[in-house]
Amino acid sequence: MTSLEPVDDPSTLPYRFVVDQVRTPNDPTFVYPVDFEQDGNWESYQLQVGRHVTGELTSVLLYDCLFCGNVIAQHNFDNALFEHPSSTEADFDLDGNVDIAATYVLRDTVWLTVISQNSTALDPLYICHGTDSHRIDGLWDGKSTLVGSLDITGDQCPEIFVAVDTGYDLYPRKLVCVDWRAKQILWDFDVPANIPARLFSTIRNGSPDSALIVFSTFAKGNGAEANGMSDLRSYVIALNADGSERWRRSAGGLYTSAQSNVIDYDGDGHEEILFVAHADTATAEGRSAFNRGIRSSFVICNLAGKTLDSIPIPSRHEVRQLQLYPRGFGDGAVLTYILNDDTLRFVDQALNPLAKVSHPDGVALLSFGDFISSGSRQVILRLASSNLFLVDSQFTVLAQSDKPMDGAQVIPFPGSQSDKRSRVLISSNNKDNNFNIVFRMVRTPWYTIFSRKPWLASLLAFTPPALALVFVAVIMVQRKRKNDIIERQRDELSLALSELKDAQEKLVAAEKMQQARDIAGGVAHEIHNALYPAMASLDLLKRKLKKQSPRDDESLHELIDLSESAVVRANGMTELVREFTRLDADRTDDTIVLKDVINEIIRSLAQRVDETDTMINATIPAALCIRCRTEHAFILFNNLITNALDAVEGTLQRQINITATMTEDDAQIDVSDTGTGIPAADHDRIFNAFHSTKPSTGTGLGLTLARRIATVYGGSLQLVHSAENGTTFRVTLPMATDHQARDDDDH
């Protein structure tokens, strides 16, 4: 985890946030860059966030460049209330130019209007109205936001989706689909709670009339009801293009949010739907129960609403601000979310963890982009009520704003082709800190050394100009010399690392070759020894058969048994060698339940356990899963448990204990016995191939093979303890990651 820490002096960082243009209006506003004529020259419009104050004008202003340019049009709305986001841009009238669609509230009525680049404001379209049911201030407390647009009629003109929400007035709360070209409402769908714009998605799914509209609601707890739903619960809802409900999923109880997003979970190029499902909590406990944390999971379902996968979220954390970015640090999409432990987490669409960053005050992600024209992408972050940060993919701080940006939102603003300086638009409508600023990201120049070290500036002021030039030249020469030294050291280090890597690869290859030679020689020796009695016995058997003596029947059977035993041992030896040599090729990172493997081994050894009157105690969490092929895990633990049975045989107290614990990333399994222990002289050799402490029955490959299996899967096998009162071996193996493991309490 990376901890984000501010610096005392931002000028010491490689880049700076340089103010290009700034506007601090009296009233809260948002400024949006827009290319009206789609010619690469960017204009802008300003949306004033209005208030319900009688006689007060709110406005939409159109500028010929950014907000510091000339106003080309102004549209006033008396006593109108604009929320954010209340606007979107598209060619709604099909004239080849971009238009602005805006929704607003006039007292108790919701309206929608479209403003074109030539300053024309088309007649407002009535959406709906409400009433002041709670009778506190005489005003309906509703609001409207534009959540998206999509062509669902096939006329090439996008329809507009407006979400209407209320507070204590409760109704109406709905999603409205507007065909602006036809000047009519196609349909509306009543919901019990508000629909956040970032949690609204549209899926084309082939032809326009096959489109799917997916959104989620927040459980506000006001007691509103609609379409058989209540705002005491959160939902994921999918609608058809005609506004009919295709399916819905309940996502949790009071104060929960489903946080739905459309992703490509399995990488097959087709969309799936991701949302957060929460376990139910008692409604009477209220927000305090939710703040304590509830069990929740990421749920992935197909477009028909069928669950494809469910991944538990660890440590009873609440997921906030789950959002998909089509392009993250690279070309692939990135999902980000914040947990209530104040960590910002990055995952890919398969929910594999990529990175996480934290700060005690919390971290918010504002935007991805190549803001410094480096060819790679960076991200702009903001600490709670604090500064902006530009960081790279390793979360190294590249730049930090000079002052706090409370409530700031980033709107990426691409510069024209002739302007190589990347710019970003920062807006805030915080009533105490209202601003709109365009920043340029520029490299920190060398002469900022005088601001970082004021004593140099003072010295320069009292030094003759010639001496000052010499002084500056000396500083620059020293800096160049230091840079040359650093560059040379970097090259030497790179060369040394390359040589070290080559030497390491050669050493590994040599070790593998020597190991292969040792195994081959040992196998030849052991097979020769194993087959010699069989050959001798068979030779004697031939001679006895020639005599045809019935009295030799018993000895004949003994010779045959001896031959069979020798051949079986030789066959077992070759089987062990085959397993040893094919481990890398046969490796698969399966997710297996450790407890099932141990129980299967104990069942297979049940007869021997009963015959030796041995007690086996296994303490393993039911949900503990490891990454290993089932057959390999069986061989590894079967070797350890079989060795433990051999060790306790003939002792008074015959007991074997198998315990498993979980660390952050690994599973740790101890296999202990109450046997006579391993001689100290053998401690350093027990893992060597063909070294056995049981010469009469052992092959010397069991522990070698077991350690090899653990190593292949990124784990380890070691002797922890061995004395006269018993022996303990410890196996460490990687656990299945959060999105692979399944929390199954009933397993």
Task: Decide: helix, strand or coil at residue 392.
Answer: coil
Q: 25 burial class (0-12, 13-18, 19+ CB within 10 angstroms)?
A: middle
Spatial neighbors of 403 by CB under 8 A, at least 6 apart, are: 387
| Inter-residue contact 265 to 302 (CB < 8 Å) | no
Under 8 Å CB-to-CB from 123, ≥6 apart: which residues? 113, 183
Q: What is the pLDDT of residue 223?
A: 82
Residues in a beta bridge with 212:
203, 240
Residues 53-84: pLDDT tens digits? 555 667 777 777 765 567 777 777 765 677 65
pLDDT of residue 420: 37
In eight-state DSSP terms, residue 218 is B
- Please give the structure tokens belonging to residue 142: 């509703």
For residue 735, how far is the Cα from the chain centroid?
17
Torsion of CA 474, 478, 480, 485, to 10 degrees: 160
In DSSP terms, which residues pair with 45 in a beta bridge?
32, 62
Q: What is the pLDDT of residue 739?
A: 44
Structure tokens at 179: 């065909």
- Residue 33 near residue 66, CB atoms below 8 Å: yes
Three-state SS letters, 645-658: HHHHCCCCCCEEEE
- Which sign, positive or negative, has the C-alpha torsion 555, 558, 562, 564? positive
Cα–Cα separations (whole angstroms), residue 513 to 293, 516, 531, 573: 55, 5, 27, 20
Residue 365 carries which side chain, given as an amino acid letter? L
Helical (H) or strand (E) element with 190 = strand 184-190
State both tokens at 416. 């024209």
Q: DSSP letter string over 331-361?
A: SS-EEEEEETTSEEEEE-TT--EEEEEE-TT
Q: For position 548, what pLDDT does the model report?
A: 57
- pLDDT for 396: 87
**96 CB neighbour count, 10 Å cutoff:** 8
431-464 burial code (b ≥16 CB/10 A, e <16): eeebbbbbbbbeebeeeebeeeeeeeeeeeeeee
**453 SS3 class:** coil
Q: How many of the other CB atoms lie within 10 Å of CB of 206? A: 9
Q: Measured between alpha carbons, how far is 408 from 406 in angstroms, rounded to an integer?
A: 6
pTM: 0.57
Q: Pseudo-torsion of CA 386, 387, 391, 394, nearest 10°?
A: -30
Task: Please tell me the distance from the alpha carbon of residue 140 to that of residue 171, in angstroms, as a whole number.
Answer: 9
What's the pLDDT score for residue 155? 84
**Burial tier of 62 (Cβ tally within 10 Å: 0-12, 13-18, 19+):** buried
Strand partners, 673: 656, 727
pLDDT number for residue 535? 65
Predicted local confidence at residue 216, as pLDDT: 93
Low-confidence residues of the chain: pLDDT under 50:
282-286, 414-421, 739, 741-747
Residues 6+ apart with CB under 8 A from 661: 667, 668
Query: For residue 527, what pLDDT is reported?
Result: 63
Q: Which contacts qualify for 559-562: CB closer than 8 Å, 24 or more apart? A: 562/533, 562/534, 562/537
Decide: helix, strand or coil at residue 390: strand
